[in-house]
Structure 1
Amino acid sequence: MQFADRVMNLEISGIRKIFESAGPDAISLALGQPDFDTPDHIKEAAIQAIRDGKTGYTQNSGIPELREAICAKFERENGLKYLPSEIIACAGASEALNIAMQAIVNPGDRVVYSDPGFVSYGALAELSGGIADPVPLGEDLRIDMDRTCEAIDGARMIVLNSPANPTGVVESEETIRGIVEYADDQGTVVISDEVYEHFIYGGKHYSAALYGDNVITINATSKTYAMTGWRLGLLAAPLEIAEECLKVHQYTIACASSISQYAALAGYTGDQSVVARMRDEYRDRRDLMVKGLQGLGFEFPVPEGAFYLFVPMGTELMEAIIAAGVIIVPGTAFGEHGAGYARISYAASQDALKEALNRIESVI
């Protein structure tokens, strides 16, 4: 059987392989998945939508009331003004990233992103016919402005991710603004992946679209409202860009799940204190893991956002920790410059994290 080269050149994410091979007694600190349940008022909205028979196709871009709620969210929380026509409800942030690249990237175009960085950026660039162009982070795991601006020259697209997966870094306003403005001067489109924006423990979140009209903003309910399995994300962009992305979206899935859209509507318009409670719990978990690992002799930058630690660690020690039943992810899953690191997710209960620390201590 002959397959497309763009598919044959890709591999299944190493994160999924590690997660799916975990034993029954293992503590998985591998996936970036909240362990919280979806808030009750969101679940009830979905149930009511089913009872009301709202189970058919919606408008390609999503139900109007959801897109209006998303516009209100952007203005209230990010200082951004979008029209409902500039919003697309997608099947998770993953689909939003995909349709953005499919709409913008031509064969041979370079797509710049940070290394280590989220696993999908390079893969989606290649599936779009582009060339993945990872740029090493600095020693402090922050964006290296000189290297990044050099890579932007002649590039079609750059992907920003703050707070970042896998490092937990929250980039400064100066960095975000500088990259957006420099990219705009070069005719480069910016994708800003902001799915972790509500989970920040130090610093402040700055939306890239504040600084230019060349920005496509990607977000989702997955992390914010613990709705990973609902697969409801969003794309926001100036109308000229959104209309082209909508074409790809239409011929890919037609529309996001109607029930997930009504659930997301309840999330965006309902009680936001549930998000604050999750954030505060993540902060406590981060502090627990930082104290525990530092007490065992590990040295690493304390993450300011998301729910990951990116810890320098040799391969033998990493394999021993995994063998002891604590599933962590080799840094190479996020790019070649992740070598010598492991990503540890603290999206697990404090009891599970304490047991993980005990097992790591036994290995040490």
Structure 2
Amino acid sequence: MKFASHVEEIDISGIRKSFEGAGPGAINLGLGQPDFDTPDNIKRAAIEAIEEGFTGYTMNLGTAELRAALSEKFRRDNGLEYAEREIMVTSGASEALFLAIAALVEEGDEVLMGDPGFVSYSALTRIARGRPVGVPLDERFHLTADAVAERITPKTRALIVNSPNNPTGSVQTREELRGLADLAEDRDIALISDEVYEQFIYEGAHVSPALYSDNVITVNAVSKTYAMTGWRLGYVAARGEAIENMLKVHQYVQACASSISQRAALAAVSGTQEPVRIMREEFKRRRDVLVSGLRSMGMDIKEPEGAFYAFPEVGDGDDVSARLIRGGVVTVPGSAFGPRGRGHIRISYAASMEDLKTALERMRDIL
């Protein structure tokens, strides 16, 4: 077989590679998934949907009930007014990101993204025959409008913003997000805002760039917020013709998101938010323990402001990550997230407190 060159040039995710070589008993601090169970009210809603026979296709956009609940969620949590027709339900935020890029990017078009940044952004851009362009983050791991403006060319079609950020744990300020949104509007480029970690901010509050521009495509999911990574349920909201053009791709590659997962998501976003608060408080406790432990070893680390990742500077991130894996602690080398991540490793504290403390002891011995 002959394979497409733009697919062959993509490598397997560095996050997945990090698991290779880990022996039995290894503590996994590489996976970006909450260790909490999906809340009971969400599980019950899914069981009831199965028992009712709600097991067929739904509308391509998603059920009207879920999109109405998501519209209310945007109003409640983000101060945004989206009509149901401006929201589409997807199979995870990953599909939503793909749909946004596929609808925007033609061969040779450029997509700007933070470096370091989440591994999917550059790969999805290449799959769309576009060219990913890394924008250096500042010393706080924040993306600035000045740095973005320097890299905008006539071929720039989109800018991806991720706050709270994976892998760094940074959270953009309201002023920074307003500046990025204004820049996107002034230069007539799309701003794709990945907000899957919005509920995990430990000081301050989340701000959606769509407050400041209609050029924003907002991507989110129930995956992290409600410990539902395996349910594969995301959503995307946008103005104008954006949803219609993303729908053209979605209906052929996916048809619709899982009917059962949609019922579960409806219970998640419209039900009690107490489990989210409990998770957020526990992640903050774990963050504090991890940061203190890493600093006691002499590591240079900026305190994560959100998400559940630490991104300490360690010198040679590839070497340190490999040594840690051999010693029973799985982390991800920073190089997986772009050239400017090479001196770092990503550590997920979405693991139990017991595992975190044991991992820190092993790290002291290894390093």
Same fold by TM-score, threshold 0.5 exceeded? yes
Task: State the partner residue of 2:117.
Answer: 117
> How many Å apart are 1:320 and its aligned residue?
2.3
- What is the alpha-carbon distance in structure 2 between the residues aligned to residue 299 and residue 314 of structure 1? 10
Identity value in percent: 55
Q: Judge conservation of contact 2:23–2:326 (CA < 8 Å) in 1.
A: no
Task: Give the alignment's TM-score, normalised by structure 1.
Answer: 0.98
Q: Which whole-Å CA distance do the structure 2 matches of 1:103 and 1:277 have between them?
A: 37
* Segment drifting more, 15-24 vs 229-238: 15-24
Are 2:359 and 1:356 aligned? yes
Q: What is the rounded CA distance, in whole Å, between the counterparts of 1:153 and 1:68 in structure 2?
A: 38
* Secondary structure, aligned partner of 1:219: strand
For 1:121 and 1:161, locate their aligned partners in 2 and report how far apart those are by CA, in whole Å.
10
1:257 Cα deviation (Å)?
0.3
Q: In the alignment, does 2:2 pair up with 1:2?
A: yes
- Displacement, 1:18? 1.6
Which residue number in structure 2 is paired with residue 220 of structure 1? 221
Instruction: Look up the match of 2:55.
Output: 55
- For 1:48 and 1:253, locate their aligned partners in 2 and report how far apart those are by CA, in whole Å: 24
Aligned residues: 364
Q: Distance in 2 between matches of 1:78 and 1:107?
A: 34
Give a deviation string over 1:20-60, Cα, whole Å, max 9, x none: 54222100100101111100110010000000000000000
Give the aligned partner of residue 313 of structure 2: 312
Is the Cα–Cα contact under 8 Å of residues 315 and 344 in structure 2 kept in the other structure?
yes
| Matched residue SS, 2:18 | helix
Kept after mapping to 2: 8 A contact 1:184/1:214: yes
Aligned counterparts of 1:317 and 1:106: Cα–Cα separation in 2: 39
Shift of 1:106: 1.2
- C-alpha contact (below 8 Å) 2:110/2:133 kept by paired residues: yes
Tell me by how many angstroms 1:296 deviates. Answer: 1.3
Match of 1:321 in 2: 324
Tell me if 1:168 matches 2:166.
Answer: no
SS in 1 for 2:295: helix
Contact 2:21–2:325 (CA under 8 A) maintained in structure 1: no
Instruction: Quote the residue 1:23 is aligned against.
Output: 23
Q: Distance in 2 between matches of 1:314 and 1:47?
A: 49
**Residue 224 of structure 2 aligns to a residue in which SS?**
helix
Helix, strand or coil at the partner of 2:311 = strand
SS in 1 for 2:19: helix
Q: Does the 8 Å CA contact 1:29/1:347 hold for their aligned counterparts?
A: yes
Q: 1:153 Cα shift?
A: 4.0
1:152 and 1:158 in contact (8 A); partners too: no
Counterparts of 1:9 and 1:318, CA distance in 2? 24
Structure 1 position 331, deviation (Å): 0.2
Q: Which residue of 2 aligns with 1:131?
A: 131
Give the structure 2 partner of residue 245 of structure 1: 246
Query: How far off is 1:140 after superposition?
Result: 2.2
Q: By how many angstroms is 1:152 displaced?
A: 2.9
User: In the aligned structure 2, how far is the partner of 1:54 from the partner of 1:6?
Assistant: 39
Q: Which residue of 1 aligns with 2:333?
A: 330
Of 288-297 and 91-100, deviating more is 288-297
> Which structure 1 residue ranges, 5 or more long, are not aligned?
none
Q: Deviations over 1:92-119 (max 9, x none)?
A: 0000000111111111110000000000
Maintained 8 Å contact 1:79/1:210: yes
Matched-pair contact (CA < 8 Å) for 1:170–1:204: no
Q: Tell me how far apart the structure 1 counterparts of residues 152 and 220 of structure 2 sit (CA, whole Å).
A: 23
Whichever residue aligns with residue 5 of structure 1, its letter is S
- SS of residue matched to 1:353: helix
Letter in 1 for 2:83: L
Residues 1-364 of structure 1: matches in 2 within 5 Å?
Answer: 1-154=1-154, 155-315=156-316, 316-364=319-367
Q: CA deviation at 1:190?
A: 0.5
RMSD: 1.0
